[in-house]
Amino acid sequence: MDQFTLNLIVIGASFALYFGIAFWARAGSTAEFYAASQGVPPVMNGMATAADWMSAASFISMAGLIAFGGYNNSVFLMGWTGGYVLLALLLAPYLRKFGKFTVPEFVGDRFYSTTARMVAVVCLLVISITYVIGQMVGVGVTFARFLEVSTTTGLLIGSAVVFAYAVFGGMKGITYTQVAQYIVLIIAYTIPAIFISLNLTGHFLPQLGFIGGYAPTGGETYFLDKLDQVVTDLGFTAYTADTTNMLNMFLVTMSLMIGTAGLPHVIIRFFTVPKVSDARISAGWALVFIALLYTVAPAVGSMARLNITTTFWPGAIDGETFSKPALSIAEIDSNPDLTWIRNWEKTGLLAFSDKNGDGMIQYFNEPKPLVDANTALAAATKALADAAADADKAPLEAAVAEATTARDAVLAEAQLGGQSLAAQGIVGNELTTVNNDIMVLANPEIAALPGWVIALVAAGGLAAALSTAAGLLLAISSAISHDLIKGALNPNISEKGELLAARISMAFAIVLATWLGYNPPGFAAQVVALAFGLAAATIFPVLMMGIFSTRVGKEGAIAGMIVGLITTSVYIFLFLGWFFIPGTNVYPNTPDAHWFGISPAAFGPIGAILNVATAYIVSAMTKAPPQEVQDLIQSIRVPKGAGKATAH
C-alpha cells in the first residue's frame, strides 16, 4: 500500500471518529451550546483545552522555530505555558463562580454597563478573528499537503468538516471531539520523538535525551554540546547562545503569557466544568496535556536540526564536521534512507541547488558580506540580461565583472572549516530552503519510521488545526448571539431563538473565516502577535481589575480597554503597516528601529500597564461601583454557592 492511501485511511478513520462523537454530543440547549451544561469532568476539559489551545502552529511549526531560533525562541515554550498559571490562580475560578457564558458578559455585569460589554465584544472579535485567519490558513495548508489537493480545496474541505460538527454540536460537540483530537495529536507527536531520542541519545524520554549524551560518540559528549559545535562549525549561531536583547525577550514572554490568559476562546473553556475547584484543577490538567507536547518540542526541534545537518555533512556524525565530504547528489538519489529529501523537495519546503557544479550539496550559513556580494552580482547579471538588444552593454558587462571580482574577493576571505571558500571551490550555501515545518513533518521519514507513523502525523496535524479553529469559532459565535443579539439588540429573544441565532452566527463565522483564509492579508505570523498583544492589553487587565479591585468602575474599565486596544494596535501598525497594508509602515520592522528595542510582538505588557494605569486614574475621578456590584465582587471571590450557569 502506498503512503498516500495509508494517509487517507488514517485521516478518514479519525474524521469518522470526530463525526460520530459530534453526533452523539449534539447540543439541545443554549447551556449546552455555550458551555456544555457545565458537565465536563476536569480531566476531559483539560484535554479539550489542550487541543483547543495547541494549533497547527504548535504542532507543526513550533519545533522548527525552536530548532532554528535556539534559546531565543524559548519565549514560546515559557510564554504559551506560563499563562495557564495566571488562568488557574487569577481568572478561572472566579469566572466559573460568576457562572455565565461569555467573557463580555462578565465585563458587562461587573462594570454595570452595556457599553463596557460592547467594548469587550469588539476586543474579543478583533482578537478571535485575527487568530482564526491563521488557523484557517493552517487548515488549508495541512489538508492540501496530506490529501494532495490545492490549498483552496483543502481550505474548503476543512471548513466543511468544522461546519458539520461545530454548528450542530456547539461547545458540547466541540469539547468531546477535541478530547479525541488531543489523543490523536499527542500520539502523533510523541512517537517519532521517542524514536529519534532513542537513536541519538539512547534515552526513551526525549526530555532526558535532550540533556543527555550523544550516542554515536558513546555518550561522552553531551547532545547539546555536539549540536552547538556542528552548527557553529557551519557559521550558524549556537543553539544555546545567549539572547542579544534581554528586555525584548522578557517582554515577548510576558506578552505571550498574559495574552494566553486573556484569550477568550481559552477562558470560556473554564465555564464548562461543574465546580469552582474544578476550574482550578482543570487548568492544571490542561497544562499537563500541553506540557506533554511542549516539553518534547525542544527535543524534537534540536534533534531534527542535528539530523538534518549531519545528513548533509556525514562526517559530523562521529567526528569532525568536515572530516568527510558533503552529501553528494548521487547519494541522495541512490540511498533508500534519503528518499525523503526528494519527497520534500517536491513540496517546496526543502530546496537545494548545486551552485558550483561539484555534485555535492554544501550546507552552511553564508556570512553577511557573501550574501551582499551574491545579491549585487545577481542584480548586475539580471540588469545585463534585461538590457534592450540595441543598448550599450559595455557598462553593464563592466558592472558584472566588477561584482564578480568583489564576490571572489569575499570568497577568498570567508572561511569554512579553517579554509577559505575559494580554496574549496564553494560559491555559496547550496541547501537554499529548509522550512521550519519540515522539522516535525519529515521527522518520521528522517528517522526511517514505518508508514503508519507518517500517516498518524498527518492526522495529528489536521486534528490540531481543526480543534483550534472550532474553539475560536465558538468564541466568536457566542459573542455575537449571546452578547450582541441577546445582550443588546433583542434581550427578549427566546431560548430556542437564541440557539438558532448561535448556530447562524457560527455558520456566518465559518464563512467569514474561510473567506479570510482564502484571501489571507499575507501576514499570518504578525497577526498572531497582534492577537496575543491585544489579549494581553485588553481582556486580561479588565478581568483582573474586575476580580481584584472593588474600586475600578465602568468609566475606568472602558477607558482602560480603549487605551490598551489603541496603543497596542498603533505600536504594531507603526512597524507592520496600518491595518497591515504593506508599505504603510512608519518605521522599518528591524531591531534598530524598534523603540527601546521593543519589537511589536513585545508590546502587550506595556499596553496592559497603560490600560491599568488609565483605569485607576479615571476611577479615582469617578464614582465607585454601586452596592450590587460590590456584592457581585464579594460573591465571585468565594466558591460557595456556584450553581449551574443561567442565561440571566
Partner 1 sequence: MADKTSANAYWAANIKVITISMIIWFVCSFGLGILLRPALSGIHVGGADLGFWFAQNGSIFVFLILIFVYAKIMNGIDRAHGVEE
Site of grid cell 548533509: 312
| Residue from 115, 217, 232, 295 in contact with partner 1 (CB under 8 A) | 295
| Residue 580 CB partners (closer than 8 Å, separation 6+) | 521, 522, 523, 526, 527, 573
Distance in angstroms (rounded) separating the CA atoms of residues 57 and 532: 14
Phi-psi category of 269—alpha, beta or left, where left has phi over 0 and alpha has psi -120 to 50?
alpha
Distance in angstroms (rounded) separating the CA atoms of residues 446 and 323: 22
42, exposed or middle or buried, with CB in 10 Å at 0-12, 13-18, 19+? buried
| Residue from 212, 264, 428, 553 in contact with partner 1 (CB under 8 A) | 212
**Residue 77 or 545 with smaller CB distance to partner 1:** 77
Q: Count CB atoms within 10 A of the CB of residue 637.
A: 13
Distance in angstroms (rounded) separating the CA atoms of residues 553 and 78: 33
Residue 539 binds partner 1 (CB under 8 A): no
326, exposed or middle or buried, with CB in 10 Å at 0-12, 13-18, 19+? buried
Binding residue count for partner 1, defined by CB under 8 A: 53
Query: Closest separation between CB of residue 229 and partner 1, Å?
Result: 12
Residue 367 binds partner 1 (CB under 8 A): no
Residue 245 binds partner 1 (CB under 8 A): no
| Residue from 19, 71, 508, 518 in contact with partner 1 (CB under 8 A) | 71
Distance in angstroms (rounded) separating the CA atoms of residues 583 and 288: 43
Tell me the window of 216-224, 334-342, 447-455, 584-592 that interacts with partner 1 (CB under 8 A): 216-224
| Residue from 148, 242, 337, 354 in contact with partner 1 (CB under 8 A) | 242
Which run of H or of E encompasses 434?
strand 431-434
| Residue from 84, 106, 523, 532 in contact with partner 1 (CB under 8 A) | 84
Residues of this chain, 450-489, that bind partner 1 according to CB under 8 A: none
Tell me the window of 70-78, 186-194, 260-268, 538-546 that interacts with partner 1 (CB under 8 A): 70-78
Query: Closest separation between CB of residue 178 and partner 1, Å?
Result: 20
Query: Closest separation between CB of residue 85 and partner 1, Å?
Result: 5
Longest dimension (CA), the chain: 89
| Residue from 199, 202, 275, 566 in contact with partner 1 (CB under 8 A) | 275
Distance in angstroms (rounded) separating the CA atoms of residues 555 and 198: 59
Concatenating the DSSP letter of every residue in 589-644 gives: SSTTTSGGG--GGG-HHHHHHHHHHHHHHHHHHSPPPPHHHHHHHHHHHS-TT---
Residue 196 binds partner 1 (CB under 8 A): no
Distance in angstroms (rounded) separating the CA atoms of residues 279 and 299: 31
Residue 208 binds partner 1 (CB under 8 A): yes
Distance in angstroms (rounded) separating the CA atoms of residues 266 and 12: 28
Query: Closest separation between CB of residue 224 and partner 1, Å?
Result: 4
Whole-angstrom CA distances from 141 to 11, 89, 150, 164, 310 are 15, 37, 8, 20, 29
Query: What are the cell numbers at 69?
Result: 531560533
Query: Closest separation between CB of residue 95 and partner 1, Å?
Result: 15
Residue 236 binds partner 1 (CB under 8 A): no
Q: Where are the alpha helices (DSSP H) in 387-424?
A: 394-413, 421-424
Query: Closest separation between CB of residue 82 and partner 1, Å?
Result: 5
- Residue 97: strand, helix, or coil: helix
Paired residues of 415 in beta bridges: 420
Residue 89 binds partner 1 (CB under 8 A): yes
SS3 per-residue string spanning 296-308? CHHHHHHHHHHHH
**Mask: binding to partner 1, 565-594, rule CB under 8 A, as x and -?**
------------------------------
Query: Closest separation between CB of residue 148 and partner 1, Å?
Result: 35
| Residue from 10, 48, 51, 66 in contact with partner 1 (CB under 8 A) | 66
Paired residues of 350 in beta bridges: 434
Tell me the window of 26-34, 126-134, 208-216, 370-378 that interacts with partner 1 (CB under 8 A): 208-216
Tell me the window of 81-89, 373-381, 463-471, 604-612 that interacts with partner 1 (CB under 8 A): 81-89
Query: Closest separation between CB of residue 72 and partner 1, Å?
Result: 10
Distance in angstroms (rounded) separating the CA atoms of residues 631 and 162: 41
Residues of this chain, 391-450, that bind partner 1 according to CB under 8 A: none
Query: Closest separation between CB of residue 89 and partner 1, Å?
Result: 5
Tell me the window of 71-79, 410-418, 609-617, 624-632 that interacts with partner 1 (CB under 8 A): 71-79
- CB-based contact 39:31 (threshold 8 Å): no
| Residue from 115, 149, 225, 318 in contact with partner 1 (CB under 8 A) | 225
- CB-based contact 327:311 (threshold 8 Å): yes
Residue 7 binds partner 1 (CB under 8 A): no
- Contact residues: partner 1, CB under 8 A: 66, 71, 74, 77-78, 81-82, 84-86, 88-90, 93, 207-208, 210-213, 222-225, 240, 242-243, 246, 249-250, 253-254, 257, 275-277, 280-281, 283-284, 287-288, 291, 294-295, 298, 634, 637-642
